[in-house]
Amino acid sequence: EAGVTQFPSHSVIEKGQTVTLRCDPISGHDNLYWYRRVMGKEIKFLLHFVKESKQDESGMPNNRFLAERTGGTYSTLKVQPAELEDSGVYFCASSQVGLQYEQYFGPGTRLTVT
Amino acid sequence: AQSVTQPDIHITVSEGASLELRCNYSYGATPYLFWYVQSPGQGLQLLLKYFSGDTLVQGIKGFEAEFKRSQSSFNLRKPSVHWSDAAEYFCAVGALDYGQNFVFGPGTRLSVLP
């Protein structure tokens, strides 16, 4: 069974550009989470989808971040326009309904904004 | 607010030596406690978790952790470290009234000397 996959693994963009990160959860996992770790800091929760619905987006830093999960399968996280402080590693995780603490994490996307 | 501290940013041990990684949390009740490991290029992998019951928890890869309520600690231990244990280790807290999300510590990077 494939794990959580994320694309790209690395992205380097200039300030002001747009970047879209993709996460493919484990098949059958209705819960999908985004987290990020900015340099030297803790991993912080961004948002949580249940199927295609946003269950909790309290961790989204500002309106430059837009997350979608059309059809309840893969999810995208768009940053537009990117700022220097957006640099970090963005993790995606998924879990089955009712097993919210059994989250499986992807390898992360390292985003560098120059 | 919940918080998790990992006092050691970087630890170096010799292969075969014992290991203890410290984790302290701040929360009003008994939280759910977790240890994750991230090896280079990999996603976060769950090592072990504590929900209730026996305060000494066994995990994968020969790791164990002990919950000490009086010290608000959940330290991770391994009696004999292997070179493949070199990675970054994260302690995390989850709690019912915080929803389905984790609060992570800043991580401890483990280096293993041959």
CA dihedral B66, A42, A58, A49 (to 10 degrees): -70
Q: Which residues of A touch B46 (CB under 8 A)?
A: 102-103
Distance from CA of B18 to the nearest CA of A (A): 26
Q: Alpha-carbon distance B50 to B4, whole Å?
A: 15
* CA angle (B98, B101, B105) in 5-degree steps: 100
Q: Alpha-carbon distance A93 to A79, whole Å?
A: 19
Contact predicate A23/A5, CB 8 Å: yes
Strands B32-38 and B64-68: unpaired
Q: Is A99 on the interface with B (CB under 8 A)?
A: no
Domains annotated for chain B, with CATH where assigned, are 3-113 (2.60.40.10)
Segment B48-59 mean pLDDT: 93
* Domain locations along chain A: 5-113
Q: Could you tell me which residue, A57 or B29, shows the higher pLDDT?
A: A57
Return all residues near A18 (Cβ < 8 A) that are at least 6 apart: A78, A79, A80, A81, A82
pLDDT band at A54 (very low <50, low <70, confident <90, very high): very high
Task: Tell me the percentage of chain B whose pLDDT exceeds 90.
Answer: 75
Distance from CA of B109 to the nearest CA of A (A): 11
Summary mean pLDDT of chain A: 93
Distance from CA of A16 to the nearest CA of B (A): 28
Please give the DSSP secondary-structure letter assigned to residue B106: -
Q: Could you tell me which residue, B99 or A87, shows the higher pLDDT?
A: A87
Tokens, residue B3 = 């918080």
- Spell B32-66 as b/e; 16+ CB within 10 A means b: bbbbbbbeeeebbbbbbbbeeeeeebebeeebbbb
Segment A35-43 mean pLDDT: 89
HEC sequence for chain A: CCCCEEECCEEEECCCCCEEEEEECCCCCCEEEEEEECCCCCEEEEEEEECCEEEECCCCCCCCEEEECHHHCCEEEEECCCCHHHCEEEEEEEECCCCCCCCEECCCEEEEEC
Domain A5-113 has CATH 2.60.40.10: yes
Q: Is B96's pLDDT higher than 70?
A: no
Q: Alpha-carbon distance A62 to A100, whole Å?
A: 25
Please give the DSSP secondary-structure letter assigned to residue B63: -
pLDDT score for A83: 96
Mutate which of B101, B102, B103, B108 to test chain A, going by most A C-beta atoms within 10 A?
A: B101
